[in-house]
Amino acid sequence: MSTASSNPTAVALPSAWRQFYALTKPRVIQLIVFCALIGMVLAVPGLPTWAQVRLAAIASLGIWLVAGAAAAFNCVVEQQIDAKMKRTAWRPTAKGELSNLKTLTFSAGLCALGSGILYFWVNPLTMWLTFATFVGYAVIYTVILKPLTPQNIVIGGASGAMPPVLGWAAMTGVVSPEALILFLIIFLWTPPHFWALALYRVEDYRKSGLPMLPVTHGSEFTRLQIFLYTLVLFAACLMPFVMRMSGWFYLAVAVALSIGFTGYAYVLWRDYSDALARKTFRFSLIHLSLLFAALLVDHYL
């Protein structure tokens, strides 16, 4: 006989924690913190000192908490939309497993804790930039832009592109041109990444009522936009080398990844299939992850 059967709390507590954890969108947060960490590493010439490693760890925790708070707030605002979409119907808020009050309290607690860590143990600039990112994503993008315009991903992408800037500010206390180059890469990467997803999830978005580009302008126009964005992104990915932030190793990786992403986008534009849209979406994740990993490796070569 297990104690769980006679004590419901023994089962409910872990289940509740899993639900709250799911609200933070862990896989998205991992990529956010990874990009912030790249900004931290690139901001420090050579090998970091123990004090810098400690600062980076504290900053990563603070950024993770505030980003998780924004994700949880997003789940509250979009719970009705999430319930209509197969991709998001499993979320605890969409299923009614967590009340709005509990979720908002959780979000506020994470945001306050993360902001406090960044303000007192990192620097005020990083705290204010991170909080502005929270407002940009949770309020300006989720509440205003997303239901209003098919360019929601483009404009709202500014919030998603902030992690390297946050990382750079955490280590230096300033926002430099190098940090803005990293911002530009993610900003330009975001539309083709999300529109590839929207293409094969178009019926979900249509049912949800969100004015995503494939719904408002059709598949062919969206595919052309994806291809054009990958061309501009290709040029932006070369800027770290041009600006002497990186060397030949990064350049080789960036060119190979950009050719791959542009190639996927071109074939998707000329000969569409849902399977190819899925492959393009997955490759976009590989593209950004390996691109920033190459920046990290190149920094120490």
The tens digit of pLDDT for each residue in 50-107 reads 999 999 999 999 999 999 999 888 888 777 766 777 767 667 777 777 788 888 898 9
Model pLDDT, residue 253: 98
Q: Give Cα 177 to chain centroid, integer Å.
A: 21
Strand, helix or coil at 222?
Answer: helix
pLDDT single digits (tens) 115-141: 999 999 999 999 999 999 988 887 887
38 pLDDT band, cuts 50/70/90, is very high
Name, in order, each residue with C-beta under 8 angstroms of 60's C-beta and a sequence gap of 6 or more. Answer: 33, 36, 37, 40
Q: What is the mean pLDDT of the chain?
A: 88
User: Token pair for residue 3?
Assistant: 């104690």
Model pLDDT, residue 12: 42
Tell me what percent of the residues of the chain surpass a pLDDT of 90: 61
User: Would you say residue 169 has pLDDT above 60?
Assistant: yes
Model pLDDT, residue 250: 97
HEC-encoded secondary structure of 181-217: HHHHHHHHHHHHHHHHHHHHCHHHHHHHCCCCHHHHH
3 pLDDT band, cuts 50/70/90, is very low
Model pLDDT, residue 13: 40
Q: What are phi and psi of 122, to 5 degrees?
A: -120, -90
Euclidean distance between CA atoms 93 and 75, whole angstroms = 6
Model pLDDT, residue 243: 93
Q: What is the DSSP string of 120-152?
A: HHT-HHHHHHHHHHHHIIIIIIIIIITTT-TTH
User: Token pair for residue 83?
Assistant: 């319930």
Q: With contact defined as beta carbons under 8 Å apart, do 232 and 188 qualify?
A: yes
User: Would you say residue 143 has pLDDT above 90?
Assistant: no
204 pLDDT band, cuts 50/70/90, is confident
Q: With contact defined as beta carbons under 8 Å apart, do 214 and 198 qualify?
A: yes
Q: List the single range of 205-209, 245-249, 258-262 with lowest mean pLDDT.
A: 205-209
> Residue 34 corresponds to which amino acid?
F
User: Token pair for residue 119?
Assistant: 């303000």
Euclidean distance between CA atoms 197 and 194, whole angstroms = 5
Model pLDDT, residue 10: 37
Model pLDDT, residue 140: 81
Model pLDDT, residue 8: 38
Strand, helix or coil at 62?
Answer: helix
pLDDT single digits (tens) 189-198: 999 999 999 9
pLDDT single digits (tens) 4-35: 433 333 334 447 778 888 888 888 888 899 89
Q: With contact defined as beta carbons under 8 Å apart, do 163 and 39 qualify?
A: yes
Model pLDDT, residue 98: 77
Nearest C-alpha neighbor of 25 from the set 81, 107, 99, 115 = 107
Q: What are phi and psi of 205, to 5 degrees?
A: -65, -35
248 pLDDT band, cuts 50/70/90, is very high
